[in-house]
């Protein structure tokens, strides 16, 4: 009660105690809510449209209504008083929430919500704006409800001075409101006379959609509280709606459709379903993975990951570790194997934790997500370059070969084995191996503990070859006896590290262009100097050591100063990167464009790739670029769409998740008819690709098509 009295007094004193800021009016406040008028600019100029909005901050348990309130309620209503020559749009309504109340269902908002609208000063208002700026007055009525409903009203005044428009302190509110608006859906939508809402698109599958609900734009066309039964198949879904008293079988049905994927992420879409027949989905018969299958697939995928191209640089460190174990006691061999396995498991657990955190906050991320950051790629390039310098003898780290495999193992010994395992995981994540994709995709939609178990099983698989030494330590005695050849091997194995660093520089060129490569190369120069300075200090007297260490520290700090420039470097366009190396009919991936091509009856081959994915690059060279494959693409008029996931792209992430893939590569062939899309293996050969296309019909107009070139 005291809180309510205090808020009421603040509301009465608000205009005195809190005069209107440049971009936010004085509030109208009660114990139930606080409402203000805000704008996204601090000044106004003629011919410059800007956004204004009503900002509602609601007490816990209270809500206001969407433009269709559902079974009961009323939306906010506003009357604007504006000078002549100023026009205003209506509210842009964010996606609402379902608010059940016993047998009724309402649509509205809780917490904090902004209802934005656009103000457009015309030429007639220019003299007035130039002289006095713009004064806005809004009279608003709204209904706020909990167990009871209370009608409220307020008058909000705001004055914007004349001047060059600049973002206000409230601009972030408008950005969040824009993100909450439903997007236009390009998928074909129909509403049947029985009230079934149907969508068709090749991207729809049980791996795409786990839940759906519909908000109609008008009242009484459906029964809001009735169950909406979802049925999902390959390429189609239906949502059974209970018809309301104003439902018309021959009229379109407009509204907002919310889709939830198996991982719990929701997306809202503005749709207008045309009256017509609704396709019945064919349920997918694909069996879901059991817990045992998920863990087994993860373990097998981890084992195969040892053979993937991404892991080749780490094989040098593994080789050194094995050589270093030659002649050691069984207990020492077992301890090193356990240390290496522990590093791998910790890295996989950390990855699972990060992905789980991103999933919790609604962000989309997948396997290898860290390589989408040019800063991370640069740091990895520098790390591998430093490892190479250490192996080449420029400076010494630790006293054992087990610790020489990476710059992090400053103390050598078991710590060296542990950090070798960490680094193995970091450089392995650009690749996905067979079995691994299915396990990770299932884990991404699983409860947290199960997700962690799957990632740890994958880590055990990656560590298995080395971990066998823990079970059979006598195998280490089969290695050659230590000798000078070990130093020669150590220096020779530096070159895979340098090669990996060069490859990562190329990855940066795809993510951050020439500016990113220049920054990363400068960082390498600084780190090379730091390694040399440390090496000199290790063989100098005490004053020389201090000088060398100080010079090395300064060089490292100079390298770190380069990172912000790499992060802000512009991203080169996909088409520019692919110029001169693209297939006939090449297009950058777009879900909307894919839907249009499918409606036109064009077959489409989707190639989801990334510059840091070595498997993807090998597949492109070995299979997708062969003359036979290119000729078949051309003969069948197959549109080749490539999605570049080198840097984060939410649309590509959604597509990957739709097909149950946590990362790249992903290859999908969409036939020209309503047949289900064909998902190809992650490791391609020319024969696999040609076999997938052998049953496609030749187009009738192939002879006249400019892409119709015979295979060479």
**What CATH number should be reported for the domain holding residue 675?**
3.40.30.10
| CB neighbour list of residue 496: distance below 8 Å, 6 or more residues apart | 312, 313, 315, 316
Q: How many domains are there within the chain? A: 4
- For 340, the token pair is 């290496």
Count of other CB atoms within 10 angstroms of residue 102: 7
State the average pLDDT over residues 633-646: 88
Question: What confidence score (pLDDT) does residue 606 get?
Answer: 93
Q: Tell me what the mean pLDDT of segment 326-337 comes to.
A: 64
Does residue 280 sit within a domain?
no
Q: Mean pLDDT across the stretch 202-211? A: 80
Query: Residue 281 falls within a domain, yes or no?
Result: no
- Which of 180, 142, 339, 175 has its CA nearest to residue 266? 180
Do 190 and 173 fall within a single domain?
A: no
Answer whether 214's CB lies under 8 Å from 197's CB.
Answer: yes
Position 341 confidence tier, pLDDT thresholds 50, 70, 90 = confident
Q: pLDDT confidence of 338, banded at 50, 70, 90?
A: confident
Q: Is the dihedral of CA 532, 536, 539, 545 positive or negative?
A: negative
Where residue 480 falls among pLDDT bands split at 50, 70, 90?
A: low
Q: What is the pLDDT of residue 301?
A: 81
Residue 247 and residue 158 share a domain: no
Q: Under 8 Å CB-to-CB from 469, ≥6 apart: which residues?
A: 325, 333, 334, 336, 337, 475, 476
Report helix, strand or coil for 119: strand
Say yes or no to pLDDT of 63 above 90: yes
* Token pair in block for residue 29: 């406040």
DSSP class of 98: E
Q: Are residues 163 and 202 in the same domain?
A: no
Range with top average pLDDT, 50-54, 99-103, 347-351, 587-591: 50-54
Q: Give the whole-angstrom CA distance, residue 396 versus residue 352.
A: 34
Residues 240 and 309 in one domain: no
Q: Among 275, 306, 330, give the residue marking a domain's end.
A: 275
Output the pLDDT for position 607.
Answer: 93
Please give the pLDDT value at position 399.
37
CB 459 within 8 A of CB 481: no
Would you give the DSSP letter of residue 311? Answer: G
Question: Which of 33-42, 89-98, 244-253, 584-593 has the weakest average pLDDT?
Answer: 584-593
Res 1 pLDDT > 60: no
Mean pLDDT of all residues in 247-270: 89
Residues 382 and 508 reside in one and the same domain: yes
Q: Hey, which bits of 647-699 come out as E strands?
A: 666-670, 678-679
End position of a domain, from candidates 567, 592, 611? 567
Q: Of 369 and 578, which is predicted with more confidence?
A: 369
Q: Is residue 609 part of a domain?
A: yes
Mean pLDDT of 162-181: 89
**Cα→Cα distances 50→32, 155, 630, Å:** 30, 21, 50
Is 269 part of a structural domain of the chain?
Answer: yes
The two structure tokens encoding residue 711: 């295979």
Q: What tokens appear for 223 in the block?
A: 């029964």
Among 31-45, 213-227, 329-343, 478-492, whose mean pLDDT is lowest?
Answer: 478-492
579 shares a domain with 558: no
d(CA 202, CA 277): 18
CB 519 within 8 A of CB 378: yes
User: What's the token pair of residue 187?
Assistant: 């998928």
CB 700: neighbour CB atoms within 10 A?
8
The answer to whether position 536 is within a domain reads yes
Rounded CA gap, 518 and 522, in Å?
Answer: 6
Question: For the domain that residue 249 is a member of, what is the CATH number?
Answer: 2.60.40
Q: Does 17 share its domain with 141?
A: yes
Which of 212-221, 605-614, 631-640 reaches the highest mean pLDDT? 212-221
| Cα separations in angstroms, 376 against 145, 255, 476, 505, 649 | 49, 42, 36, 12, 17
Per the CB < 8 A criterion, the answer to whether 622 and 676 are in contact is no
- Residue 235 zone, left/alpha/beta (φ > 0; ψ -120 to 50; rest): left
Judged against a pLDDT cut of 70, whether residue 574 lies above it is answered with no
Separation between Cα atoms, residue 613 and residue 215, nearest integer Å: 41
Q: For the chain, give the mean pLDDT.
A: 79
Average pLDDT over residues 385-404: 65
Rounded to 10 degrees, the C-alpha dihedral 562/491/390/413 comes to: 140
- Asked if the structure places residue 338 within a domain, the reply is yes
For residues 549 and 693, membership in a common domain is answered with: no
Distance of CA 8 to the CA centre of its chain: 45
> Above 50 in pLDDT, residue 575?
no
Q: Which helix (H) or strand (E) holds 135?
A: strand 134-145
In a domain, 709, yes or no: no
Segment 370-382, tens digit of pLDDT: 667 788 888 888 8
What pTM, to 2 d.p., does this model score? 0.47
CATH number reported for the structural domain that contains residue 167 in this entry? 2.60.40.1250
- On the 0-12 / 13-18 / 19+ scale of CB atoms within 10 A, 449 is exposed
C-alpha distances in Å from residue 641, one per residue of 604, 614, 711? 7, 19, 20
Same domain, 558 and 477: yes
In whole angstroms, what is the distance from residue 61 CA to residue 32 CA? 9
The CA distance from 589 to 647, in Å, is 14
Tell me the mean pLDDT in the region 625-637.
88
pLDDT (0 to 100) of residue 21: 42
Residues 378 and 514 in one domain: yes
Residues 206, 321, single domain; the answer is no
Looking at the structure, tell me whether residues 304 and 453 fall in a common domain: yes
Q: By C-alpha distance, which of 162, 184, 144 is closest to 32?
A: 144
Distance CA 289, CA 432 (A): 18
Place of tokens 């809190």: 18
Q: Which pLDDT band holds residue 253 (cuts at 50, 70, 90)?
A: very high
3-state secondary structure of 299: helix
The residue that leads in pLDDT, 197 or 593, is 197
Domain that holds residue 117: 2-177
Note the pLDDT of residue 421: 75
The span from the CA of 251 to the CA of 218, in Å, is: 12
Q: Is residue 489 part of a domain?
A: yes
Last residue of a domain, one of 241, 275, 309: 275
């Amino acid at each position: 009660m005291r809180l309510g009295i205090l808020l009421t007094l603040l509301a009465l004193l608000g205009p005195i105690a809190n005069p209107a800021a440049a971009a936010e009016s004085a509030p109208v406040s009660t114990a139930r809510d606080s409402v203000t008028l805000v704008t996204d600019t601090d000044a106004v100029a003629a011919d410059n449209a800007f956004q204004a909005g009503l900002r509602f901050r609601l007490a816990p348990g209270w809500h206001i209504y969407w433009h269709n309130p559902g079974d009961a309620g009323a939306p906010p209503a506003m009357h604007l008083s504006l000078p002549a020559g100023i026009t205003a749009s209506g509210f842009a309504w964010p996606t609402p929430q379902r608010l059940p109340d016993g047998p009724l269902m309402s649509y509205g908002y809780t917490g904090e919500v902004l209802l934005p609208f656009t103000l457009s000063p015309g030429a007639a208002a220019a003299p007035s704006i130039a002289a006095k700026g713009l004064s806005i007055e809004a009279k608003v009525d709204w209904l706020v409800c909990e167990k009871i409903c209370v009608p409220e009203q307020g008058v909000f005044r705001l004055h914007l001075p004349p001047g060059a428009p600049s973002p206000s302190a409230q601009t972030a509110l408008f950005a969040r409101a824009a993100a909450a608006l439903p997007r236009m859906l390009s998928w074909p939508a129909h509403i049947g006379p029985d009230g079934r809402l149907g969508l068709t698109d090749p991207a729809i599958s049980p791996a795409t959609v786990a839940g759906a609900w519909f908000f109609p734009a008008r009242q009484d066309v459906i029964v809001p509280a009735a169950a909406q039964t979802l049925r999902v198949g390959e390429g189609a879904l239906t949502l059974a709606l209970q018809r309301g008293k104003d439902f018309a079988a021959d009229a379109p049905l407009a509204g907002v459709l919310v889709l939830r994927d198996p991982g719990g992420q929701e997306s809202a879409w503005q749709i207008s379903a045309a009256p017509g027949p609704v396709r019945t989905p064919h349920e997918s018969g694909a069996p879901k993975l059991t817990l045992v299958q998920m863990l087994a697939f993860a373990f097998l995928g981890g084992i195969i990951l040892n053979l993937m191209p991404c892991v080749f640089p780490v094989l040098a460190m593994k080789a050194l570790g094995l050589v270093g174990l030659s002649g050691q006691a069984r207990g020492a061999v077992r301890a090193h194997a356990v240390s290496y396995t522990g590093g791998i498991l910790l890295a996989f657990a950390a990855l699972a934790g990060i992905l789980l955190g991103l999933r919790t906050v609604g962000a989309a991320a997948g396997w290898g997500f860290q390589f989408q950051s040019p800063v991370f790629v640069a740091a990895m390039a520098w790390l591998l370059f430093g490892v190479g310098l250490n192996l080449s003898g420029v400076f010494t780290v630790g006293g054992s070969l087990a610790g020489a495999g990476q710059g992090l193992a400053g103390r050598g010994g078991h710590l060296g084995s542990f950090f070798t395992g960490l680094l193995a995981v970091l450089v392995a994540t650009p690749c996905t191996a067979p079995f691994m994709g299915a396990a990770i995709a299932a884990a991404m939609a699983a409860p947290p503990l199960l997700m962690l178990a799957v990632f740890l099983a994958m880590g055990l698989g990656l560590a298995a070859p080395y971990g066998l030494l823990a079970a059979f330590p006598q195998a280490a005695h089969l290695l050659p006896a230590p000798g000078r050849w070990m130093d020669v091997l150590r220096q020779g194995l530096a070159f895979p590290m340098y090669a990996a660093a060069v490859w990562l520089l190329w990855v940066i060129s795809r993510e951050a262009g020439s500016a990113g490569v220049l920054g990363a190369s400068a960082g390498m120069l600084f780190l090379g100097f730091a390694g040399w300075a440390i090496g000199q200090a290790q063989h100098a007297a005490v004053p020389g050591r201090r000088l060398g260490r100080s010079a090395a520290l300064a060089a490292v700090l100079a390298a770190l100063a380069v990172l912000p420039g790499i992060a802000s470097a512009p991203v080169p366009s996909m088409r520019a990167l692919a110029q001169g190396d693209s297939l006939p009919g090449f297009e950058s991936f777009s879900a909307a464009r894919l839907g249009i091509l499918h409606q036109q009856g064009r077959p489409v081959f989707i190639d989801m790739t990334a510059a840091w994915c070595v498997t993807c690059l090998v597949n492109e060279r070995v299979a997708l670029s062969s003359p036979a494959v290119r000729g078949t693409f051309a003969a069948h008029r197959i549109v080749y769409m490539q999605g570049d996931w080198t840097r984060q792209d939410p649309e590509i992430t959604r597509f990957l998740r739709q097909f149950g893939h946590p990362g790249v590569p992903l290859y999908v062939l969409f036939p020209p008819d309503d047949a289900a899309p064909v998902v190809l293996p992650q490791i391609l050969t020319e024969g696999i690709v040609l076999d997938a296309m052998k049953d496609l019909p030749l187009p009738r107009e192939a002879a006249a098509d400019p892409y119709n070139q015979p295979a060479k």
